[in-house]
Structure 1
């Protein structure tokens, strides 16, 4: 397993490797470019361990992305700690600072993974071919490292904007590269990785050509809509979203072309059962394209806390969850009674094997994400009595490829070609009821945006979507004031009990008063700077010397 190789072989070698190392040289050097440097790698297992070291830091981020990419929107709130000054709630109420742990963790761990990738590329490229390390082995493991480096830079540029390009293990580069330069490097890494990877892999945590094409489709979809710059963020007035610029049609066409490669490969498909996508028993299914593997806490670098944070305390519905949906009305965000995505995305009730029932809604608790609840035989309601953290983290699945292509076509003015792709997703969601409310006859921007939301709820895509569409501010300020728990009745435990005297002590009044506080803070603290996260401190809370800071921080 990649985790064991990482822990046993590579971790000791990486302990001394910091975010940015000890030379002023930022060029890729050493064995990869034929510089004649020697390599300590002599066997396939050593090369594989170096390549697999890139995953360890990423295993620690499966829940951290949730706190950034869900909490910093209108859809969720974080009650990670009792104190709202703590890191999770800080993001939820738009008080994120450079010392926020989730910004620190994501930024630094992505660079640690990049550092491991740089080392793997250099050492494996410089290794001598032998009976225990073939040229094919070298090509595969270098390709995997390049894939992850490109993927990491795509994450960084979306979250933090201009970031340093650190492309060698001896680099101390701290200058922030332009957005175009970062995207160019992403494309370079992914395209150079392509030929060394298999077309597909039964283990979806291994990079494949299908994963390359998927991420390139998303890269060109995002890059083609002209990502927001620091200057544009600085110019935002009040809480008015910046204007969406004219799209780059060449890049959007590339998004279509790469999506077509995934679709035409025949290696992936929409599962017939939407609920069959998630769960330990469903890992590596035909819809998953790329995932981060998890064996659970105490085994990997860190178990998948995306599963834990959204359903924190099984059988303890009244205990504040680490993160949850922000309002009871969100369970009706997906309209109608026949869309199966509604049932599995928004959990309002969970029954356990021993008959205990969690009522995850008013007046006891709040609607929770349902996709990663460990269920018995993947049933609708019945769940296991605990919530282990060993479900693989799904980064990309086939439904997103269809959405990527549909969005690119829509912004290219080809809505008639985009509509069947959306209907293909909706046909799976509606099943036998597709002809009775599932089929769409027209595609507007609002319909397109909603389908992203319905299909990928709580899959760490929402903030990225709102930023790409330049609708983040309007989505928060126009949506949150209409929530049930935003109303004045929920201002305090006293006002709640006064408004609902018939409930007596049944209502979890202090909990809902805290929800009220978070929702009002989202609106009151809204600011254009939240189109990015701050360049954070290091993990020991000292400066990384990456300047300038993002606007507003």
Structure 2
């Protein structure tokens, strides 16, 4: 079993407070001028407080998939038998404030923030001694600030304007502006940076390189002027809002922070694309920051990204929790020499006992291949069980390179961006790089495609489409061209009539369900889906946060 770097998650109940547990007082002095009342006396007690911030994040490793994958053209969710359930609702653009996935993500991120606030205050005001030195305190407060900044970055991308909860005395419910939230993210991360180690071989521990990576992504996103509530309200029909001219100063900061990570020399693109994932490959040289998992019953929640993306091994006819939306998606990566294709889109899996799953017509549908727990001796071979103890990779080195490339491209430095993109493609194509892999020019579409090819099903796609303001166009122009969108897939009867020679082999009810989902994606598409709704609390009561996002 892996060494658990976190303290027992029962500490979460002791040290994290209610959802909005902080006041709107933005004074950075954790004591607020009051006499020191911290009960923290030892490093162990301080570590327990600091580690409590991670528990809520462990519960989100798979939940992000149901938001930032399902709410795009690429995936459909069959999480439950009933299509009115939470996963399918997001998949067909029927998300509401009472949907479990926005509820869970929003509330758990704020629980992590509440735990971070308490850690910052209690550890910051604790008396230094032989068991809790000033260096100990500085490190642990830095870890808490790292997670608070990280959590607010997630919130502002998914929900837009959100309340800033910065101390343990607040009942703040008013939503701060986009720029104010981004300012807070930058403040937390830059304040954390000097007291964190530059590098840690355990990638679940915050480091300066992790800070620099997230700051690069922050400035890339902020520099492209994130969409505001007012802009969403003004969207007409399903026409994407116009992408504004970028803030090139912020994009330059994205480049600068990316270069800090690149120039550190601590990370690299692995020679084999498939070596990035799996229990045996954790903490590899490409991973920069991950969420640690030991599995269900051990940590707060195992990493179900592995299960949800590859549900029911050896039962190909059983509807997966979430999967690619169409057979044509395996051709999004056009070249057969691009190794990302065979590991990102699984059409066939052979298990160690000889059982074979054919994950395509007429039995099932193409599945995400990155999370299949493979044997070491074959692209298509898998172990018999899918573990949920695989650490969740939040940021890896390839993303740093594409962050830099995108920032350069939108700063009118396409030739410089081309060199960086080709670095990523060189690993993907290996020996075929000079014969089809190397790009001679870089267009906006090339850049967008590279993100898609490299990070398929890694919880980046919706964030990318929103940042580029292409979400609506991508759904409405892509989905109607899918194979399973065609009228012959409307029902089990029409499917069997269209393919009489194999009618007895077709999983007809499954493909009819896919057809229904795809049409619902197009029919329900709306500009409001540039945001997720401000949700209810976890007990399904109103949080009192106003105003609600447009359209909800």
TM class by smaller structure: over 0.9
Structure 2: how far apart are the matches of 1:401 and 1:246?
A: 22
Post-superposition CA distance 1:452-501 (Å, at most 9, x none): 00000000000000000000000000000000000001000000000000
Whether 1:114 and 2:113 are equivalent positions in the alignment is yes
Cα distance in 1 between the residues matched to 2:167 and 2:151: 15
Instruction: Output aligned runs, 1:121-520, within 5 Å.
Output: 121-377=120-376, 379-520=378-519
> In structure 2, the residue corresponding to 1:376 is in which secondary structure?
coil
Shift of the 239–213 alpha-carbon distance from structure 1 to 2, 3 Å rule, reads same
Aligned-pair CA distance for 1:29? 6.4
Tell me the equivalent position of 2:81: 82
* CA-CA distance at 1:38 after TM superposition: 1.9
Q: CA RMSD in A?
A: 1.2
Partner of 2:60, secondary structure, is coil
1:7 aligned residue (2, 6, 9): 9
SS of the aligned residue for 1:195 comes to helix
Structure 2: any 5+ residue segments left out of the alignment?
none
Offset from partner CA, 1:274-314 (integer Å, 9 cap, x none): 00000000000000000000001111100001110011100
1:381 CA drift (Å): 1.5
Contact 1:57 1:112 in 2 (8 A): yes
SS of alignment partner, residue 5 of structure 1: coil
**Shift in Å, 1:169:** 1.5
Counterpart Cα distance in 2 of 1:105 and 1:31: 28
Residue 19 in 1 paired to residue 19 in 2?
A: yes
CA distance in 2: counterparts of 1:481 and 1:130, whole angstroms? 66
Cα pair distance change 1:378/1:56, threshold 3 Å: farther
Shift in Å at residue 14 of structure 1? Answer: 3.3
Distance 2:225 2:439 in 1: 29
* Secondary structure class of the residue paired with 1:320: coil
Residue by residue, what CA displacement relative to the aligned partner does 1:2-35 show, whole Å, maximum 9, x if unpaired? 5651335x234137x21013x7553346645664
Partner of 1:186: helix, strand, or coil?
helix
Q: Distance in 1 between matches of 2:5 and 2:214?
A: 23
Residue 93 (structure 2) aligns with: 94
Partner SS for 1:212: helix
Take 2:209 and 2:356, find their aligned partners in 1: how far apart are those partners?
41
1:53-72 paired onto structure 2 within 5 Å: 53-72=52-71
Equivalent pairs counted in the alignment come to 550
Residues 270, 276 of structure 2: 8 Å contact kept:
yes
- In 2, distance between residues paired with 1:50 and 1:237? 47
Could you list the per-position Cα deviations for residues 249-297 of structure 1 after superposition, in whole angstroms to 9, with x for gaps in the alignment? 1100100100010001101110011000000000000000000000011
Q: Using the alignment, how far apart are the partners of 1:18 and 1:230 within structure 2?
A: 27
Any conservation in 1 of the 2:30–2:167 contact (CA below 8 Å)? Answer: no
Contact 2:36 2:126 in 1 (8 A): no
1:2–1:49 contact (8 Å) kept in structure 2: no
Matches within 5 A, 1:26-45: 26-28=25-27, 31=30, 35-45=34-44
SS in 2 for 1:324: strand
Between the aligned partners of 1:4 and 1:268, the Cα distance in structure 2 is 24
Shift of 1:129: 1.0
Q: State the shift of 1:322 in Å.
A: 0.2
TM-fit CA distance, 1:36: 3.1
Q: How far apart, in 1, do the equivalents of 2:26 and 2:36 lie?
A: 15
Alpha-carbon offset, residue 504 of structure 1: 2.5
Q: Which whole-Å CA distance do the structure 1 matches of 2:118 and 2:528 have between them? A: 35
Spell out, residue by residue over 1:115-174, the C-alpha distance to the aligned partner (whole angstroms, 9 max, x if none): 000000001101111111111111111000000000000000000000000001221110
User: Quick check: 517-526 or 377-386, which moved more?
Assistant: 377-386
| TM-score, with length taken from structure 1 | 0.98
Q: Normalization by structure 2: what TM-score? A: 0.98
What is the alpha-carbon distance in structure 1 between the residues aligned to residue 360 and residue 25 of structure 2?
53
